Amino acid sequence: MTTMSAGKTTVIEHFIGGKARGGDRTTPVYNPATGQQIAELVQAPSSRVDEAVRDAVRAQREWRRVGLVKRSKIMFRAREIIDARKDELARIITREHGKVHSDALGEIARGMENVEFCAGLLHHMKGEFAEQVADGVDVKQIRQPVGVVACITPFNFPAMVPLWMFTTAIAAGNAVVLKPSERDPSAANWLAEVFLEAGLPEGILNVVHGDKEAVDALLSHPQVKAVSFVGSTPVAHHIYTTAANEGKRVQALGGAKNHMVVMPDADLESAAAAAVSAAFGSAGERCMAISVAVVVGDIGDQFVDRVTELARALVVRPGDQPEADMGPLITRDALERVTSYVDSAAQEGGTLVLDGRTHDVPTEGFFIGPSIVDHVRPGMKVYDDEIFGPVLAIVRVDTYEDAVNLINENRFANGTSVFTRDGKTVRSFEYDIEVGMVGVNIPIPVPVGSFSFGGWKDSLFGDTHMYGPEGFNFYTRRKVVSSRWPEASESQVDLGFPSH
C-alpha cells in the first residue's frame, strides 16, 4: 500500500517499483471543504527521484519487449477495474480536491476515454512501408518508445490528466515517473496500484511526490527523455525551457482565458445555462472553464439577467453532499486570490452583478460563491489574468468582428466557443479564430479520446498536443530502415551519393 496511518494521520508515500517508499520530509494535505489537515505527504528529495528513474530505466528495457497484444490486454483490464471502482476513486478526488461527486465521476469518465483509446495500441503503433523504392530497395518506418517519461500533473484533474499522459506513454512502450500535485496526491497512487493489479510490471508506472526539488530533479535527470506537463503558463514556460535545454522532448500545457461568444441569434436559455455550467463547474478550477462571455449586439441585458438568475441559485456546499452544485476552492491561498479579484472588479470599472462573497456558503473550508462582473474590458485584471476560480467576466461588443479580434488579441488560446443558430457564422468562426480547441454551441470543447487536446500561443509550449493520435506521436520516435539484399555478383565500389 502507498498510504499508512501514523496515529490519526494518514501518511501518503511514494510508489516506486511497485512498492511504497517513505521519507523524512512531509507536508500537509487538506480537505478543502473543512480546511482541516487529513494527511501527511512524503516529499521526494532528488535522491528519491533518481531511484524512481533508475527503477523505470531497468523496467522499461523489459517492457519494450512485451508484445503489443499483451499491453493492450492490460489496458482493457485497467479500464474494467477503474469502471467497477469509479465511485471509490471519485470519493478520493472529492475529499482532497473538493469538486462535487458527479464532477469527479465526469473527470474519471473522460480519463477512461484515453485508456480505451490506448487499448487500440496495435493500430496506433503501426509504422509505414514502401516496397521497391529503388531497384531491390525497400523502406520502412517504425515507432519505438523514447524511454523514461516524466509526467507532471496539476491539482484540478488529479485522475483525468494522469490518465491522459501515462496510459499513452506506457502503451507506447515507455516507463513513467508521475509527479502529481501535492495538493491532492492520492488519486495518482490509486491509479498506479490499479494498473499494477491489471498486470502492468513493477517499475513501469512510478509515483513520486514532491515540490520544486522533485520537479527540477526530473527535468535535469539524464535518463528522463521526455516531459509532459499541465499547469500555469509561467511554470509551463519554465518546464519547457529547462527541459528543452537539457535536450528532452517537451509538451507543456499552460494557462487559459477561454471566451464564449454569444451571438444575437443564439438560443438564450441554452447559452445562459452553458455559461453558468462552464464558468462555475468545479468552482472554475478548470483550464477549459469559460471565464469570459463575449456578448454581441443587443442580447446583452437579457443574457446577463438570465446568467445571474441561474448562478444565484447554485448550491455551494462540500462536494460529498448530494445537493451541492459547486464545492470549495483547493486552498486558502486560492480563496484569497479569487476574493481579491472580486474585491477589485468594481474599482477597475466593472459592474459587480453577482458578488460571490455574499453567497450562502459554509463557514468552514475554502468556499466562495459564483461572481459575475459586467462591462469588463481588456486592461482590467479580471480580464487579463487567469483567475482560476468562479468569476465570470462579461464583455459587450457590437459585432462578430469585434468578438473575433478580442479573442485573437488575447495571449491565451486554449479553448473558445460560439453560440449561434447561423451556419455561416459558425464556418467563419472556425476559420477566423486563432485558438486550439473550438466549440460550436458547446461551452467546454474538450475533444474525445480519439482526437488530441491542446491550445495555441501561451497555452502550449511545444509542438505536440496531448493524448489521442498526437500523444502516440509524442511518446514514440520514428526510425527509418532502408534495406537491400543484393546478389554477391552485384557488389561494387561506388563513392557517389546514392540517388536511387
Among candidate residues 148, 287, 293, 324, the one labeled active-site is 287
Residue type, 390: P
Q: What residues contact residue 278 under an 8 Å CB cut-off, 6+ apart?
A: 258, 260, 288, 289, 290, 443, 444
Backbone CA torsion sign across 75, 81, 83, 87: negative
- DSSP state string for 374-411: ES--TTSHHHHS---SSEEEEEEESSHHHHHHHHHTSS
Distance separating alpha carbons of residues 195 and 206, to the nearest angstrom = 11
How many H helices and E strands in the chain?
A: 16, 24
β-bridge mates for residue 230, sequence order: 253
Instruction: Check if 118 is active-site.
Output: no
Task: Give burial (CB, 10 Å; 0-12/13-18/19+) of 105.
Answer: middle
Catalogue the E-assigned strands of 167-318.
175-179, 205-207, 224-230, 249-253, 258-262, 290-296
Sequence-ordered alpha helix ranges (H) in 246-299: 268-280
Degrees (nearest 5) of the Cα angle 417, 419, 425?
A: 90
Q: Which three cell numbers stand for residue 423?
A: 451556419
Q: Which three cell numbers stand for residue 299?
A: 442580447
Q: 390, 279 in Cβ contact below 8 A? A: yes
Q: 353, 372 in Cβ contact below 8 A? A: yes
Just list the catalytic residues. Answer: 287
